[in-house]
């Protein structure tokens, strides 16, 4: 494969993908808000995740683009932060759709991050991509708007996949170090009843599923990024 583009790829999941796909692509392009030095086949390109610019040319001829952009949810839920969490996801998705639509040789695949938070709370019913009930609340509203922006993008020559990502566990980054730190301060006990289900996936399996989606030409629509069986809190 020739080119992999990762928008918002300077964080935990972007690093995991770059390490996993080492030498499997000829070129890697990371779209990031801050300038960073290029390293070997990895090129860092600055974008604002809101408006079209010179960065759009790097999408030409890509085998795959993966959009992981969005304000981190690891913050206080002030009205300002909630607005940024929503707008950063909608704007980056919308402008990527515009850039892809303007390509002479558009990317073969566009994977857009989403979240398993779209599903409602359940103690007994398994939530799948095809058989599930949407929940209510801020996170659900964000995911619905996020996926709508993705679905509304007119990119008929590009295969589109929504990544409904659960908590991704990695030793060095992601949610696990945060939970480990809480435990060290004796704050790692059960939350509430402790019976609520937690969906999760290991970082390597996250990357393996991305690879499977790239090679499976019939794959499109929504996919849950989660281990087969959730566990209790």
Query: How confident is the model over 164-178, as a mean pLDDT?
Result: 92
* Residue 94 φ then ψ, to 5°: -65, -45
Q: Which long-range contacts (CB under 8 A, 24 or more apart) does 8-13 make?
A: 8/32, 8/49, 8/67, 8/68, 8/69, 8/70, 8/92, 9/66, 9/68, 10/34, 10/36, 10/44, 11/68, 11/173, 12/168, 12/170, 12/173, 12/174, 12/203, 13/68, 13/168, 13/174, 13/203, 13/206
pTM of the predicted structure, to 2 decimals: 0.93
Higher pLDDT, residue 121 or 30? 30
**pLDDT 10s digits, 182-198:** 999 999 888 889 988 99
Does 134 score more than 80 pLDDT?
no
Terminal alpha carbon distance of the chain? 40
> pLDDT (tens digit, 9 = 90+) per residue, 33-63?
999 999 999 999 999 999 999 999 999 999 9
Domain annotation for the chain: domains and CATH numbers: 3-169+200-228 (3.40.50.720)
DSSP bridge pairs for 59: none
Residue range 109-129: mean pLDDT, rounded: 89
Query: In this predicted structure, what is the pLDDT of residue 229?
Result: 85
């Amino acid at each position: 494969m020739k080119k992999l583009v990762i928008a918002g790829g300077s964080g935990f999941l972007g690093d995991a993908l770059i390490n996993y796909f080492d030498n499997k692509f000829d070129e890697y392009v990371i779209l990031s808000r801050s300038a960073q030095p290029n390293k070997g086949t990895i090129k860092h390109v600055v974008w604002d995740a809101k408006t079209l610019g010179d960065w759009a040319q790097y999408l030409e001829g890509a085998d795959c683009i993966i959009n992981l952009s969005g304000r981190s949810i690891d913050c206080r839920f002030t009205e300002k932060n909630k607005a940024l969490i929503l707008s950063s996801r909608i704007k980056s998705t919308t402008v990527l759709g515009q850039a892809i639509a303007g390509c002479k040789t558009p990317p073969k695949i566009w994977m857009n991050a989403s979240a398993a938070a779209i599903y409602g709370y359940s103690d007994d019913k398994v939530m799948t991509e095809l058989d599930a009930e949407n929940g209510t609340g801020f996170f659900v509203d964000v995911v619905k708007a996020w996926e709508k922006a993705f679905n509304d993008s007119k990119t008929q020559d590009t295969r589109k996949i929504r990544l409904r990502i659960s908590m991704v566990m990695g030793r060095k980054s992601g949610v696990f170090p945060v939970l480990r730190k809480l435990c060290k301060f004796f704050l790692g006990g059960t939350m509430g009843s402790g019976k609520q289900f937690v969906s999760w996936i290991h970082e390597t399996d996250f990357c393996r599923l991305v690879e499977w989606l790239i090679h499976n030409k019939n794959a499109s629509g929504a996919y849950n990024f989660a281990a087969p069986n959730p566990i209790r809190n």
